[in-house]
Structure 1
Amino acid sequence: MDATDLCFTPATTLAAMIRSRQISPVEVMEAVLQRIAALNPRLNAYLAVDAEGARAQAQAAEAAVMRGATLSPLHGLPVSIKDLEPSAGLRCTYGSKFFEDNIAEMDGMVTSRVKAAGGIVIGKTNTSHYGYKDMCDNLLGPPCRNPWRLDRTSGASSGGAGAAVAAGLGPLAHGSDGAGSIRIPAALCGVFGLKPSFGRVPNWPNVDIWAARSHNGPITRTVADAALLLHVMAGPDPRDPTSIDSPPEDYVAAVAQPLEALRGLRVAWSADFGYAPVEPEVRQLTAAAAERFRAFGCEVDAVNPGWDDPRAHASTLWYVSYATRLGERYEQRPDWFEPSLAAMIEAGRRVSGVQHGQAQLARTVFYEQARRFFERYDLLLTPQMPLGAWSVEHGPDTIDGTPTPSMFDRLNFTFPFNQTGQPAASVPCGFTSDGLPVALQIVGRWHADRLVLQAAAACEHAAPWAQARPAL
Structure 2
Amino acid sequence: MTHPESAPHWLSASEIAQAFAAKTLSPVELLNALLARIEALDPSLNAFIRLDADAAMGAARQAEAELTAGRSRGPLHGVPVGIKDIIDVAGLPTTCHSKILVDNTAATDAAVVQKLRQAGAIIIGKLSTHEFAIGGPSFDLPFPPARNPWNRNHHPGGSSSGSGAGVAAGLFPLALGTDTGGSVRNPASACGIVGLKPTYGLVSRRGVFPLSYTLDHVGPLTRTVADNALLLDAIAGHDPADPGSAATQSRRFGHLLDRGVRDLRIGFVRHFHEHDLPAHPEVAAALEDVTRVLRAEGARIDTVTLPTLTEFAAINRVILCSEAWSVHAPWLRDRPGDYGALARRRLLPGAFITAGDYVGAQRRRTEVIAAVEDRLADYDVLLCASSMDPSSRIDDATETARTYPRQARTPFNVTGHPALAMMSGLSRAGLPLSVQFVGRYFDDATVLRVAAAYQRAAGWHDQKPPLD
Post-superposition offset of 1:293 = 1.8
Deviation readout 1:143-173 (Å, 9 max, x if unpaired)? 1100011111011011100000000000011
Preserved contact between residue 193 and residue 222 of structure 2 (Cα < 8 Å): yes
Q: Does 1:323 pair with 2:319?
A: no
Counterpart of 2:343 (choices 333, 341, 345) is 341
Preserved contact between residue 136 and residue 160 of structure 1 (Cα < 8 Å): no
Preserved contact between residue 271 and residue 283 of structure 1 (Cα < 8 Å): no
1:427 matched to which residue of 2?
422
Q: Distance in 1 between matches of 2:167 and 2:138?
A: 15
Post-superposition offset of 1:346 = 2.6
Structure 2: 5+ residue runs without aligned partners?
Answer: none
Q: Distance in 2 between matches of 1:378 and 1:164?
A: 32
1:13 matched to which residue of 2?
15
Distance change in 2, residues 1:206/1:360 (3 Å):
farther
Q: Distance in 2 between matches of 1:281 and 1:439?
A: 10
2:294 matched to which residue of 1?
293
Post-superposition offset of 1:73 = 2.3
2:447 matched to which residue of 1?
452
Q: Does 1:302 pair with 2:303?
A: yes
Post-superposition offset of 1:183 = 0.3
- Residue 309 of structure 1 aligns to a residue whose secondary structure is helix
2:266 matched to which residue of 1?
267
Question: Which amino acid is 2:300 matched to?
Answer: E
Counterpart of 2:253 (choices 246, 251, 261) is 251
Question: Which amino acid is 2:268 matched to?
Answer: W
Q: CA RMSD in A?
A: 2.0
Post-superposition offset of 1:446 = 1.5
Distance change in 2, residues 1:424/1:253 (3 Å):
same
TM score, norm. by length of structure 2: 0.94
Question: Which amino acid is 1:49 matched to?
Answer: L
Question: Which amino acid is 1:178 matched to?
Answer: T
Residues 130-139 or 4-13, more deviating: 130-139
Preserved contact between residue 210 and residue 216 of structure 2 (Cα < 8 Å): no
Preserved contact between residue 265 and residue 380 of structure 2 (Cα < 8 Å): yes
Q: Distance in 2 between matches of 1:125 and 1:382?
A: 29
Preserved contact between residue 185 and residue 196 of structure 2 (Cα < 8 Å): yes
1:410 matched to which residue of 2?
406
Residues 140-149 or 199-208, more deviating: 199-208
- Residue 462 of structure 2 aligns to a residue whose secondary structure is coil
Preserved contact between residue 212 and residue 319 of structure 2 (Cα < 8 Å): no
1:130 matched to which residue of 2?
132
1:401 matched to which residue of 2?
none
Q: Distance in 2 between matches of 1:303 and 1:148?
A: 33
Q: Distance in 1 between matches of 2:49 and 2:69?
A: 35
Q: Distance in 2 between matches of 1:451 and 1:136?
A: 37
Q: Distance in 2 between matches of 1:263 and 1:152?
A: 38
Question: Which amino acid is 2:450 matched to?
Answer: A
Question: Which amino acid is 2:66 matched to?
Answer: A
Q: Distance in 1 between matches of 2:58 and 2:465?
A: 30
Identity %: 35
Distance change in 2, residues 1:338/1:210 (3 Å):
closer
Distance change in 2, residues 1:168/1:455 (3 Å):
same
Q: Distance in 1 between matches of 2:402 and 2:25?
A: 51
Q: Distance in 2 between matches of 1:338 and 1:410?
A: 23
Q: Distance in 1 between matches of 2:458 and 2:259?
A: 14
Post-superposition offset of 1:406 = 8.7
- Residue 345 of structure 1 aligns to a residue whose secondary structure is helix
Q: Distance in 1 between matches of 2:127 and 2:46?
A: 9
Q: Does 1:121 pair with 2:123?
A: yes
Q: Distance in 1 between matches of 2:11 and 2:338?
A: 40
Q: Distance in 2 between matches of 1:198 and 1:179?
A: 13
Q: Does 1:25 pair with 2:27?
A: yes
Distance change in 2, residues 1:326/1:434 (3 Å):
same
1:140 matched to which residue of 2?
142
Post-superposition offset of 1:6 = 0.7
Q: Distance in 2 between matches of 1:86 and 1:174?
A: 11
Preserved contact between residue 186 and residue 219 of structure 1 (Cα < 8 Å): yes
Structure 2 counterparts to residues 372-387 of structure 1, below 5 A: 372-387=374-389
2:38 matched to which residue of 1?
36
Q: Does 1:172 pair with 2:171?
A: no
- Residue 80 of structure 1 aligns to a residue whose secondary structure is strand
Question: Which amino acid is 1:221 matched to?
Answer: R
Counterpart of 1:199 (choices 198, 201, 205) is 201
Deviation readout 1:285-325 (Å, 9 max, x if unpaired)? 11111222212222111233245722222111122122221
Preserved contact between residue 127 and residue 137 of structure 1 (Cα < 8 Å): no
Preserved contact between residue 136 and residue 159 of structure 2 (Cα < 8 Å): yes
TM score, norm. by length of structure 1: 0.93
Question: Which amino acid is 2:286 matched to?
Answer: L
Query: Would you say how many aligned residue pairs link Structure 1 and Structure 2?
Result: 462
- Residue 267 of structure 2 aligns to a residue whose secondary structure is strand
Deviation readout 1:192-218 (Å, 9 max, x if unpaired)? 111111111111135769942111111
